[in-house]
Amino acid sequence: MQRSSATADGKRVFLTGASSGIGLATARALIECGCQVWGTSRQIARLPTGLENFHPIALDLTDEGSILTGFSKAQSEAGGRFDVLINNAGGGWFGPALQMPTSDLREQFQTLVFGPLALIQLALPAMRAASPPRGLVINITSLAAKLPLPYAAAYSAAKAALSSFSATLRMEEADVTAAGAIRFVDVQPGDICTDFNRALHMPDALRDPAAVVADPAIAAAQRTLHVSNHDVDTGPSPDFIAQHLCRIVQAANPPVVLACGTFYQATLGSLAVRFLPARWLERSIRQHFASR
C-alpha cells in the first residue's frame, strides 16, 4: 500500500498496544508522517527502543491505577494535551461461550471496553479545553462488532459495545463542543496478519490442535480456531491498517466508521450484514468455519 505523503505536523498521539501487530506498525507509520507517539505495553521492554519521537509508557488495561498513572505521565510529557487517542490494545478469549468463566468475561470487557472508555474520559477534558476545542479518538474495534464470530462471543460483544459507545460519544460530544471539533472514528479491521491469535486466552483443551476431545463444543471450537488461524495468517499486513490510520489522523474530515481488510471480509462482509437475513448470514459464517 502507498505511504502517506502529507505530514501530520507534530501531532501528539497516545496509542495503546504499541508493542506488536497493528499498534507497532501504526507507531512507526505515524512517526514517519510527522507525529510524536506515546505508545504503551504492559511490559515496557517490549516497546521499540531508539525510535525518534517514540515515548514508551507502561500501561495495563486490566488495572485502573495503571491506566491513570500511565496516561497522566504521558499527557504531562506531551505538554498537557493529546491531539489523538488511539484505543488499539486488545486480546481475545476463545472457546464455547457457556464455558467461559465469569472472571474471564469481566477481564475481556475490562480490556476492550472499560479500559478504553477510562482513557477517553481522561483524554477528553484537555481536548475540550483547547482553544478552539479539538481532538480525535480512534477506537480499533473489529468486523466482529457487526459479524459476531462463533467461539469468540465475549470478544465480539465487547467490540460491539465499544463500537456502539463510539457512535454515542460522537453524537453527545457534538452537543457540548462545536459539532465536529472532537471526532470519534470506529475502525473495524477484518483478519490481519499479527500475533493476535497466538495471544488468545482459551481453555487448556483447545491448546493442542491435534488433541482428540470428547466434548462436541470443544471439538467444534478446535475446527473454528484452525480456520481462524489460517484467516489471520493469510490476512493483510498490519501496515495496511497503519496506513489507513495515518490517513485518518491527517484527514480534515475523517470517516465515522471504517471497515478495513480484504475485499471479501470488509466489503462483501459489510454488505452481507446489511442485506442478508440473519439466518443466512449465520449459516454462511458457520459454513466458513467448517470449511477446512
Query: Which residues are tagged catalytic?
Result: 155, 159
Residue 141 CB contacts under 8 Å (≥ 6 apart), including other chains:
159, 160, 162, 163, 166, 186, 187, 188
- Residue 115 phi/psi, 5-degree rounding, is -60, -55
d(CA 90, CA 113): 10
Residue in the shown chain whose Cβ atom is closest to ligand NAP: 21
Of residues 154, 188, 153, 17, the one with CA closest to residue 27:
17
Q: Are strands 12-15 and 257-260 parallel, antiparallel or unpaired?
A: unpaired
Are 153 and 97 in contact, with CB atoms under 8 Å apart?
yes
By CB under 6 A, tell whether 56 contacts ligand NAP: no
Distance of CA 165 to the CA centre of its chain: 14
Q: Could you tell me the smallest distance in angstroms from the CB atom of residue 68 to ligand NAP?
A: 14
Site for ligand NAP in 216-255 (CB under 6 A): 232, 235, 238
By CB under 6 A, tell whether 42 contacts ligand NAP: yes
Site string (175-194) toward ligand NAP, x via CB under 6 A: --------------x-xx-x
Binding footprint of ligand NAP, residue count (CB under 6 A): 32
Among 21, 95, 96, 203, binds ligand NAP (CB under 6 A): 21
The DSSP H or E segment spanning 154 is: helix 153-176
Q: Could you tell me the smallest distance in angstroms from the CB atom of residue 77 to ligand NAP?
A: 19
Among 2, 5, 43, 49, binds ligand NAP (CB under 6 A): 43
Q: Which residues bind ligand NAP (CB under 6 A)?
A: 16-17, 19-23, 41-43, 46, 59-62, 88-91, 111, 140, 142, 189, 191-192, 194-196, 199, 232, 235, 238
